[in-house]
Amino acid sequence: MAQSRMDRSIVDDAAMAGAIERWAVDLPPGEEPARFLAALEGGAVPDAAVPARAASAPPPADLEARPVVARLDEMLERIARLNPSLHAFITVDDEGARRRAGQLDAVPRRRRGPLHGLPIAVKDLCHVPGLPTTCGTKIPHYFTAAAECTVVTRLVAAGAINLGKLNMVELALGAFGDNENYGHVDNPWKSGHSAGGSSSGSAAAVSAGLVFGAVGSDTGGSIRLPAACCGIVGLKPTYGRVSRAGAMPLSWSLDHLGPMTRTVRDAALLLGIMAGHDPRDPTSSHRPVPDYLAGIESGIAGLRIGRPENHYVEGLDRDVEIALDRALAELARLGATVTRLRVPDPQPITDATTIIGRAESLVLHGAILRDRPDDLQPFTRERLAMGGSIPAYDYLQACRLRARLTREFLREVFAEVDLLVVPTTPEPAPSLIAALAGGPGEILQRSMRFARFTRPFNGLGLPVLALPCGFSREDLPLSMSIVGRPFDETTVLRAGYAYQQATQW
């Protein structure tokens, strides 16, 4: 496959591979890629330290007052009114949703699930039988799977109503929410500004009150960036915590599925239903799923929270810096011990994930690039083609290095603190005109800068909760990210909940 025209305008591939080689030079022969999963498991909190997941929980009391069908009709009317300008949905399944609502109204109260009647929607890379899965392309059935996406099945089994498929950046390859096929997703807080990417429709739908919650995917920040831009909560779980079966893969080593909601409590509720081992996804963890709502209100007194002083601070917009200072001060007021600390340089893991992601995305989507390139947007074509310049040697070295960098990060950071707090984005949501100016190379440079605080944690596989922490002078949402130990979403959510309860965000 021909090398992409924009390779050299983004990053010198030879220099990046050379850096990987230097960082990997002293790796012992046994550092195979599979050891990354072992590194995560080894750094996790003991199973006995977290409460077991409850078998069931009653739906919120306020949902019992009115029939599901009546509430659904109001939500579908709202979608019909707002979606033409918001472009959050690609497919609205009115008929299926109404049929499901009627079924739920007939369920006896004692048998109702924890999500009884709650409207959700899923990013349009999740396979749902009977609905097209475009993955943001102009091809109606770009992706199909042998069975429904596992997380969708679990949410619906808990009583949720899936209203349809949400807009996204084509093939999940972008940070700004643009899509020429179905319309650029608009920011509900400020029209004409980016909704973030690639789970742009998921974030906009939640922010605009079109759904209770949404499913997003995250390969380099695609849950957290839209959550930040749209002023909502987005959780990238630990790698392996949530099954990815039935969802279009972009990079099997870096992909995560997770919940996007308006509150931390809602994210905890959805995660508890989505998480758990799935035989269809061999990378999904066998670790027990805790009850993420148990103890969420117990506060953060005595919790050790770290604030990096040497990285994740470069080039911050002044509004972001002020909001982060205030958020950390509030966490300290709530009883946490906030300390500054030095953290490992994120550049090695970022370069490793760049190599891994580019190579794997070309393997997974090279056929359409070869056979139907005109069906893809120019930026997507260029992004996929970049994987053709990566030798197998560099890819395998990057995979080997990832395991070591993960162990080093866990040892150096979480020996000192329980959680790490970093900005989600270096600046507020840009205008779409500014974000999409220039050619594919310029847009990619801009998106990589915008995602520079999110991408390292896909490589490390750690749980990260993005949540609102204020507004810019232009009234755009700002966001912070809470990073935890592997499989310690419980503590991450507890800290996020305490902060959200104490603030107006």
Which H, E and C letters describe 452-492, residue by residue? CCCHHHHHHCCCEEEEEEEECCCCCEEEEEEECCCCCHHHH
Query: Is there a domain that residue 405 lies in?
Result: yes
DSSP assignment of 71-139, as one string?
HHHHHHHHHHHHHHHH--EEEE-HHHHHHHHHHHHTS-GGG--TTTT-EEEEETTB--TTS-B-TTSS-
**Signed CA dihedral, 136, 141, 146, 151: sign only:** positive
Catalytic positions, please? 123, 198, 222
Query: Is there a domain that residue 248 lies in?
Result: yes
Residue 134 reports pLDDT greater than 70: yes
Spatial separation of the C-alpha atoms in residues 454 and 425, rounded to whole Å: 8
Q: What was the pLDDT predicted at 1? A: 36
Spatial separation of the C-alpha atoms in residues 291 and 244, rounded to whole Å: 21
Mean pLDDT of 448-461: 98
Mean pLDDT of 78-96: 99
Percent of the chain with pLDDT over 90: 87
Say if residues 298 and 463 touch (Cβ distance below 8 Å). no
Which tokens belong to 421? 């707090």
Spatial separation of the C-alpha atoms in residues 262 and 202, rounded to whole Å: 11
Nearest C-alpha neighbor of 350 from the set 20, 7, 15: 20
Query: Is there a domain that residue 238 lies in?
Result: yes
Q: 301-322, pLDDT tens digit by residue?
A: 999 999 999 999 999 999 999 9
Task: Quote the distance between the C-alpha of residue 40 and its chain's center.
Answer: 18
Residue 3 reports pLDDT greater than 80: no
Mean pLDDT of 404-423: 98
Say if residues 305 and 338 touch (Cβ distance below 8 Å). yes
Number of independent structural domains in the chain: 1
| Position with higher pLDDT, 41 vs 300 | 300
Residue 4 reports pLDDT greater than 50: no
Minimum mean pLDDT range among 30-39, 267-276, 319-328, 334-343 = 30-39
Q: How far apart are the first and last CA of the chain?
A: 48
Helix (H, G, I), strand (E, B) or coil at 243: coil
Which tokens belong to 258? 């997770």
> Which CA distances in Å does 199 have to 83, 321, 323?
16, 25, 24
Query: Is there a domain that residue 348 lies in?
Result: yes
Spatial separation of the C-alpha atoms in residues 203 and 405, rounded to whole Å: 31
Query: Is there a domain that residue 5 lies in?
Result: no
Phi-psi region of 308 (alpha: psi -120 to 50; beta: other; left: phi over 0): beta
Helix (H, G, I), strand (E, B) or coil at 245: coil
Length in residues, the chain? 505
Q: What was the pLDDT predicted at 5? A: 36
Query: Is there a domain that residue 256 lies in?
Result: yes
Say if residues 416 and 157 touch (Cβ distance below 8 Å). no
Q: 135-166, pLDDT tens digit by residue?
A: 999 999 999 999 999 999 999 999 999 999 99
Query: What type of residue sits at position 15?
Result: A
Say if residues 254 and 222 touch (Cβ distance below 8 Å). no
CATH number of domain containing 74 = 3.90.1300.10
Which tokens belong to 192? 């004409």
Nearest C-alpha neighbor of 480 from the set 175, 228, 195: 228
Count CB atoms within 10 A of the CB of residue 480: 26
Say if residues 150 and 141 touch (Cβ distance below 8 Å). no
Spatial separation of the C-alpha atoms in residues 152 and 132, rounded to whole Å: 15
Query: Is there a domain that residue 82 lies in?
Result: yes
Residue 199 reports pLDDT greater than 60: yes
Spatial separation of the C-alpha atoms in residues 492 and 89, rounded to whole Å: 30
Mean pLDDT of 15-24: 61
Query: Is there a domain that residue 28 lies in?
Result: no
Domain, as residue range, for 128: 53-289+304-502
Q: 32-77, pLDDT tens digit by residue?
A: 556 788 888 888 877 656 566 654 455 555 555 689 999 999 999 9
Say if residues 458 and 236 touch (Cβ distance below 8 Å). yes
